[in-house]
Amino acid sequence: MKILVLNGPNINMLGIREPGIYGKQSFQDLLFLLKDTATELGVEFEQYQSNHEGDLVDKIQSAFGNADGIVINPAAYTHTSIAILDALKSVGIPAVEVHISDVDARESFRQISYAGLACEKAIKGQGIDGYRQAMEYLVFKYKK
């Protein structure tokens, strides 16, 4: 099983950007967590981060036939990108949406999740551990 982990804008700034909201763990800490989780679960993973919407759409499209599951944190594009929603719907790969902070307890504009409309599950407010939970969900539901 191969899982594509996608991260949107500013996720590369973890630990620096608003640590009171997103925590003090760095992007490198997230990468270590993903690697350790994939090893524990016996799956392959690819992580991709971009600050550009079109790059994320291209990466989702390239996952068709190459990934069995997607973990996606669209970050700010969660609330604005119909293109990411359409890409997720186009490939038909099981997807889980992750948000490091509890977006439901934040500003009203963060209550809208376009990408989430194409995801089976959303994990919010669990810090970077939400990525582990998302990977586990996909593995336990879909691993052959």
Catalytic: 79? no
Choosing from 48, 77, 99, 137, which is the catalytic residue? Answer: 99
Q: What is d(CA 100, CA 79) in angstroms, rounded to the nearest whole number?
A: 15
Which amino acid type is present at position 14? L
For residues 127 and 107, the answer to whether their CB atoms sit within 8 Å is: no
| CA distance between the termini of the chain | 8
Name residue, tokens 């038909």.
Answer: 92
With a CB cutoff of 8 Å and minimum separation 6, the contacts of 26 are 14, 15, 16
Instruction: Tell me which residue of 70, 55, 56 sits closest to 2, measured CA to CA.
Output: 70
As annotated, the active-site residues are 22, 99
